[in-house]
């Protein structure tokens, strides 16, 4: 089952990463997507697991957290238009964080290898993808190990 309506095209077009693609490339990206729904508390991605799906939040929000030294560190809450799951696929590592539905969530699920391959065909998108992954990694390290100036 493919994408039914233009809303998905708009969503994909509205994501910073996908803005770097031309129209035919976005069409290819949309073809890869499947709609998935989650309820509050559902684990979408689990830290430490091997997984290759990448998700684009369409409605609702997700909480991103990581487990470090036995403590749960809340990293961020992401809303519509946000991509999750790209770090593991791009960096070829296990899932670096757990992503949980903060309420009712509708997302587009992409097969990671195909999505990344599509993005890699386009230098602007490819470079942006690497920047996003790097920034996520830096944010995670900062929030996990943080500033030790809390007094």
Domain ranges for the chain, please list them: 6-144
Strands of 105-111's sheet in order across: 34-38, 105-111, 53-59, 83-84
Q: What is the pLDDT of residues 81-128, one digit of tens each?
A: 888 998 888 888 889 899 999 999 999 999 999 988 888 898 888 888
The reported pLDDT for the residue numbered 17 is 76
**pLDDT grade for 9, boundaries at 50, 70 and 90:** low
pLDDT digits (tens, 9 = 90+) for 22-81: 888 888 888 898 999 999 999 999 999 998 999 999 899 999 999 988 899 999 999 988
CA angle 44–36–21, rounded 5-degree value: 95
* CATH node for 6-144: 2.60.120.10
């Amino acid at each position: 089952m493919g994408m039914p309506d233009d809303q998905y095209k708009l969503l994909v077009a509205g994501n910073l990463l996908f803005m770097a693609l031309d129209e035919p490339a976005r069409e290819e990206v949309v073809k890869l997507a499947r709609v998935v729904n989650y309820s509050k508390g559902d684990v979408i991605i689990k830290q430490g697991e091997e997984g290759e799906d990448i998700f684009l939040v369409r409605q609702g929000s997700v909480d991103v957290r990581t487990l470090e030294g036995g403590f749960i560190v809340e990293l961020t809450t992401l809303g519509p238009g946000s991509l999750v799951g790209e770090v593991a696929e791009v960096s070829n590592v296990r899932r670096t964080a757990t992503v949980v539905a903060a309420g009712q969530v509708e997302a587009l699920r992409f097969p990671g290898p195909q999505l990344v391959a599509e993005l890699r065909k386009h230098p602007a998108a490819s470079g942006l993808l690497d920047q996003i992954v790097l920034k996520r990694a830096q944010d995670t390290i900062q929030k996990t190990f943080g500033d030790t100036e809390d007094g």
